[in-house]
């Protein structure tokens, strides 16, 4: 996928997230993109590593910065206790018009992610996304996964990790990934 196609898809995803009550900070976009790519197989082609609030793509961060530079996105401070929100910028409509159609092929997957994550707070997103990350690593199974989450992200207590894992297991059963 070319970067402008991705930009169009991200803008569509952000609209859907907002429809589901998301305030759309970078964490929401990062985690939603992670679920889209890793759980639902939408070929965004980002590399995710464990970093800020869980799985994080430095490439996606650069692209979001590029989207700001091009006027597709603007940063809007939200005030305590939120971080800055990313909103559509003056040039967003042009991208959506020209490249938003690409997102149609992944409408179901985008809707799934927006419905599952849209109303989540950052504190919940980091637990859920880290739970998916640890699950997909395949190193730890069952209850061991909660221990691994806590070892990697010490501020996430074992009980919180267990709740997130249960939710992730349900989500994996419900998810309909893109056919290969």
Partner 1 sequence: MATKTHEIRDPIHVFVRLDSDERRLLDSRPFQRLRHIHQLATTFLVYPGATHTRFEHSLGVMELATRIYDVVTTPANLLYDSARAVVPRDDEYKYWRRVLRAAALCHDIGHLPFSHAAEKELLPAGYDHERIGREMIEGPVLRPVWDTLKVQPQDVAKVAVGPDKYPEPLNTWENILAEIIVGDAFGADRMDYLLRDSHHAGVAYGRFDHFRLVDTMRILPTSEDGSAEPSLGITQGGLQSAEALLWARYLMFAQLYLHHVRRIYDVHLKEFLQQWLPGGRFHTDVEAHLRLSDSEVMSGLRDAATDPSKPGHEPARRLLKREHYRLVYEKNPADQERNRQSTRCVYEAVAGEFGPAAVRLDSYPAKSGSVDFPVYTRNERIESSLDMSKTLKEIPTFGVDYVFIDPSLREKAKDWLKQNRERIIPANGGTGDGVA
Sites of contact with partner 1 (CB under 8 A): 2-4, 23, 25-27, 49-53, 56, 58, 62, 64-66, 68-70, 75, 77-84, 91, 94-95, 98-99, 121-124, 126, 133, 151-155
- The torsion region of residue 89 among left (phi > 0), alpha (psi -120 to 50) and beta comes to beta
Distance in angstroms (rounded) separating the CA atoms of residues 107 and 13:
9
CB of 28 to partner 1, least distance (A): 9
CB of 164 to partner 1, least distance (A): 13
Instruction: Specify the residue, 52 or 108, whose C-beta has the smaller distance to partner 1.
Output: 52
> What 8-state DSSP symbol labels residue 85?
E
CB of 62 to partner 1, least distance (A): 7
Residues 53 and 30 sit within 8 Å (Cβ to Cβ): yes
DSSP secondary structure of 93-136: HHHHHHHGGGGGGGHHHHHHHHHHHTT--HHHHHHHHHHHHHHH
Instruction: Specify the residue, 124 or 167, whose C-beta has the smaller distance to partner 1.
Output: 124
CB of 79 to partner 1, least distance (A): 6
> Which residue, among 42, 40, 38, 14, has the nearest Cα to 27 in the 3D structure?
14
CB atoms within 10 A of CB 123: 12
Instruction: Specify the residue, 105 or 123, whose C-beta has the smaller distance to partner 1.
Output: 123
CB of 93 to partner 1, least distance (A): 10
Instruction: Specify the residue, 109 or 129, whose C-beta has the smaller distance to partner 1.
Output: 129
Instruction: Specify the residue, 67 or 109, whose C-beta has the smaller distance to partner 1.
Output: 67
């Amino acid at each position: 996928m070319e970067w402008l196609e991705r930009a169009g898809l991200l803008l569509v995803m952000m609209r859907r997230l907002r429809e589901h009550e998301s305030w759309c900070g970078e964490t929401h976009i990062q985690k939603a993109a992670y679920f889209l790519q890793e759980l639902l197989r939408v070929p965004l082609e980002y590399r995710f590593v464990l970093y800020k609030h869980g799985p994080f793509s430095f490439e996606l961060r650069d692209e979001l910065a590029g989207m700001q530079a091009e006027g597709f996105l603007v940063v809007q401070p939200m005030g305590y206790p939120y971080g800055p929100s990313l909103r559509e910028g003056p040039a967003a409509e042009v991208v959506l018009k020209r490249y938003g159609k690409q997102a149609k092929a992944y409408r179901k997957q985008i809707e799934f992610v927006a419905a599952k994550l849209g109303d989540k707070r950052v504190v919940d997103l980091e637990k859920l996304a880290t739970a998916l990350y640890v699950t997909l690593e395949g190193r730890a199974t069952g209850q061991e996964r909660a221990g691994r989450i806590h070892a990697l992200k010490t501020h996430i207590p074992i009980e919180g990790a267990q709740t997130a894992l249960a939710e992730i297991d349900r989500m994996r059963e419900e998810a309909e990934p893109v056919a290969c």
